[in-house]
Amino acid sequence: MSVRYDWYQSETKVVITVLLKNATEKNYAVNIDAEKVHMTADGYELTLQLLHPIVVERSSHKAFPSKVEITLAKETGVRWDALEQKASNVTSDAPPPTRQVKNWDRLVSEEEKNDEKEAKGEAALNQLFKKIYNSSTPEVQKAMNKSFSESGGTVLSTNWNEVGKEKVDVKPPEGTEFRQWDQ
pLDDT tens sequence across 37-78: 999 888 888 899 999 999 999 999 999 888 999 999 999 888
What pLDDT sits at residue 61?
Answer: 92
Check pLDDT > 50 for residue 89.
Answer: no
Q: Which domain holds residue 123?
A: 107-164
- Does residue 12 share a domain with residue 69? yes
CATH number (domain holding residue 55): 2.60.40.790
- Does residue 9 share a domain with residue 64? yes
Q: Quick one: pLDDT band at residue 124, thresholds 50, 70, 90? A: confident
Q: Which residues pair with 7 in a beta bridge?
A: 16
d(CA 41, CA 22): 10
Distances (CA, A) of 171 to 32, 110, 156, 175: 77, 37, 10, 11
Q: Quick one: pLDDT band at residue 28, thresholds 50, 70, 90? A: confident
d(CA 81, CA 158): 51
Find the angle CA(13)-CA(18)-CA(24) to the nearest 5 degrees: 110
Total tally of structural domains belonging to the chain? 2
Comparing CA positions, the residue from 19, 5, 13 lying closest to residue 80 is 13
Ramachandran class of 43: left when φ > 0, alpha when ψ lies in -120 to 50, beta otherwise = left
- Does residue 62 share a domain with residue 117? no
In a domain, 117, yes or no: yes
In a domain, 171, yes or no: no
Check pLDDT > 60 for residue 179.
Answer: yes
In a domain, 174, yes or no: no
In a domain, 70, yes or no: yes
Neighbours of 41 (CB within 10 A): 22
In a domain, 44, yes or no: yes
What pLDDT sits at residue 50?
Answer: 92
Q: Quick one: pLDDT band at residue 88, thresholds 50, 70, 90? A: low
In a domain, 100, yes or no: no
In a domain, 69, yes or no: yes
Chain mean pLDDT for the chain:
84
In a domain, 10, yes or no: yes
